[in-house]
Structure 1
Amino acid sequence: MKAARPANDRPRVPRRAVHGVLLLDKPLGLSSNDALQKAKRFFRAEKAGHTGTLDPLATGLLPLCFGAATKFSQVSLDADKRYVATLSLGATTTTADAEGEVLQRRPVDVSDAALAEACRRFTGEIDQVPPMHSALKHDGKALYEYARQGVEIERAARRVTIHSIDILDRQNDLVTIDVSCSKGTYIRTLAQDIGEALGCGAHLAALRRTGSGPLTLTGAVTLAQLAEMTEPDRDRLLMDADALLADVPVVRLDSEEAGRFLSGLRRRVRLDDAPQVRVYGPEPKAFLGSARVQAGELISTRLLSPMEVQGLLVIEEPEKQEHSERTPA
């Protein structure tokens, strides 16, 4: 007689090789890693990763990488970002956002012209002091861990670039702005600094990421939508594994050269120098990896394995019958 399975000992879900990029619209209150793990279970993926954290209090675009695409997640991490942020004027908080305790309240006597001027002042290259409530590390521990213990760590200012700040709406003390910025920009710090420039203080009331490099919310899907789909429908949502490199030049090699490139050998090419290119074999979908071109040489930077390349070339035939059973979240 078989022993009864413990109630919390669910059968292991078989994993599979999945390659591609999913545009996830992350919900409010969920960490980036929790969102990743849920999506990974939906796809039964062997390997997955995200492209940089999005605060639990933020919603919006979180590109997720599966299989071969995980090797290029740094591209999205380094890319410019775009956000729609709501600033609450007149109050500063301990965390510079709506989660913290109010530190100070001040009257708001700010004209639209003064608001526009303050936004203009913070456009371009600026220095930002990272907030204590952030994931930056100090002596191997995240700053927010020190903050929770009431410990203040001295932080050096960092240079970031705000490409543009457009005021979308203003309802009394709530101001909604569209921000295009470089990686590493803290929007909560920007909100706080704009508030100080206006003399009334401010904190970040809401944040939604709308863009990361060439990727936008167009075509993004929520976890709730994924839960309602069959596995084949989910698979059809995946962008190609090279999606994060969509805005860099293409280099195509013949079969012999492709094999040598995959082995890590430098190849002679008649191309201008380029800091980054995406490299393909002779087949349209034969994505091999990324490289740079320097002094007439093609030098690999991130290579796929032969198995991963083959996996990208396999075109799965539609299932004869789509299962209605959904993967548990």
Structure 2
Amino acid sequence: MEGWINLYKPKGISSSKATLILKPLVWPNKIGHCGTLDLEAHGVLPVAIGNATKFVDLVSNQRKKYFFTVQFGACTDTGDSAGKYVETTNIIPSNEDMCKVCDRFLGTITQTPSKFSAIKINGQRAYKLARSEQEFEMPSRQVHIYCLKLVACGEGWASYEVECSKGTYVRSLAEQMASCLQSLGFVIDLERLSVGKFCANSALSLDLFKCPHPSALVNLKSNLLNLEFALDDILVLSIAESDAQKIAYGSSIDAPCSDDNSVCVKYNGKIVAIGLVKDKRFIPKKVFNNNLNLKEDSLDVDYTRKES
């Protein structure tokens, strides 16, 4: 079993726990998810099964869209309505200013995520460290905002839609926008609308996989997306058998194309490897030897070697 499940994660459950609900249905195959959603957020959570787990990093790096609503006039320690009030203000931006502020956050911006985020600090989730009152520093990061627009607004609140790069922390963005308006703000609703090709309007409820095992397994198999679903925007190269054999052992091969960080190579219509092209050479990063029917099962591993 291999492929993707476009899962809709509800509020109140972590991304890991949501994925674990599907794990008994796919055992002994591997399972993983792309792009962690915080506990109080809901929306698209792509789940990878079998060989699709080798594409998790690739999918996680794709653009994401979110819908979020900001309550102005206060801030909380978590950046959302689940936290405790830290500060309040009587300064509430006008509807016009709520709209104009969007243009000021387009392009590359610097963020310092909340200590109550799901970001890992030395292998531990930041929110777990924060709740146990441990002292630690959150590193700043640069992210890219491709599109930010006002969807609706009212007295003291505004809803926005944002398209952004990997690593964008929407609750921090809401706080930054409020600060830019000389106010305070926190998120009262956060929904992930898409991760690359995975969209909320076609995502599956977690309840489909909580029913008795036979029914849940039928639901999973009937909704399993094929391995290549997430690769439509990635350059694909078809190769000869001799080149496929070289890749099977981690060697690079000639590639008649310009440099690209995400390339998929196929032999006989099946994915052989994903990697990058540099100086007209394809350098494999993850290899799928089971698609070559090789005898050396031990070769079905991730390769990170670069040729000098």
Describe the SS at the equivalent of 1:96: coil
Among residues 8, 15, 38, which one is paired with 2:21 in the alignment? 38
1:262 aligns with 2:248: yes
Match of 2:281 in 1: 297
After superposition, residues 58-207 of structure 1 pair within 5 angstroms as 58-207=41-190
The RMSD of aligned alpha carbons is 2.1
Of structures 1 and 2, the larger Rg is shown by: 1
Structure 1: unaligned runs, 5 residues or longer: 1-17, 311-329
CA 41–171 in structure 1, closer or farther in 2 if over 3 Å, else same: farther
Query: Normalising to structure 2: TM-score of the pair?
Result: 0.86
1:237 aligns with 2:191: no
Q: Kindly tell me the number of residue pairs found equivalent between the two proteins.
A: 290
Deviations 1:156-215 (A, max 9, x none): 432111111111111322311101111111111111122222233110111110111233
Structure 2: unaligned runs, 5 residues or longer: 294-308
1:246 deviates by 2.2
CA distance in 2, matches of 1:263, 1:148: 46
Among residues 217, 228, 232, which one is paired with 1:246 in the alignment? 232
CA 163–43 in structure 1, closer or farther in 2 if over 3 Å, else same: same
1:274 aligns with 2:260: yes
1:24 deviates by 0.3
The alignment-based identity, stated in percent, is: 28
Deviations 1:285-326 (A, max 9, x none): x111212223332221111132x666xxxxxxxxxxxxxxxx
After superposition, residues 217-236 of structure 1 pair within 5 angstroms as 217-227=200-210, 229=215, 231-236=217-222
CA distance in 1, matches of 2:2, 2:131: 39
Describe the SS at the equivalent of 2:55: helix
Describe the SS at the equivalent of 2:16: helix
Deviations 1:237-265 (A, max 9, x none): 11222333221111112334323322323
1:220 deviates by 1.3
CA distance in 2, matches of 1:225, 1:135: 26
CA 226–150 in structure 1, closer or farther in 2 if over 3 Å, else same: closer
CA contact (8 A) 2:48 2:56 kept: yes
Describe the SS at the equivalent of 1:242: helix
Describe the SS at the equivalent of 1:264: coil
CA 72–139 in structure 1, closer or farther in 2 if over 3 Å, else same: closer
